[in-house]
Amino acid sequence: MLKWLFGKKKVIYPMLAHSRGLSQDIVGEGHFQSDLEQIAGPKEKMSAKYECEATSVCESDTKHDSDAVAVYLGRGQVGHLFREGTKLFREVLVSLIAELSPVNAKAKIVGGWKNDISDGSYGIKLNLKRPLALVKENPK
């Protein structure tokens, strides 16, 4: 896993299919607020709506959850899939590509507003088709 995070070569991972709307919240973004602000830009009056691609990486060596799925934007981690959904995600991932390979998904950074009344944290939502499926490549 560290090789793909810190390696020089850009690796293209399978892309999960998306649908209308953002269907999957990410947890733990509170630990990565400065990273998210660096990506989405500084807080403004209106909430951020920064579209990007996130990479999900299955982790088996985490202290709290042996089925953890970390979420990365670029080369930095920005959260995890919620714990209740990770086992199903991993099972479906294996059925789709026969391994626990990293996969990409459309994502959006939201929140991160600041006005006279309140100051909101950044969050991330993934756009995942249900049931999970891979994007079919266009015939050439």
Q: What's the mean pLDDT in 101-110?
A: 94
pLDDT above 80 for 140? no
Dump pLDDT digits (tens) for 42-52.
999 999 999 99
- Are the C-beta atoms of 29 and 140 separated by less than 8 Å? no
Amino acid at 32: F
Task: State the pairing for strand pair 48-58/24-27.
Answer: unpaired
pLDDT above 50 for 4? no
Q: What is the pTM of this model?
A: 0.84
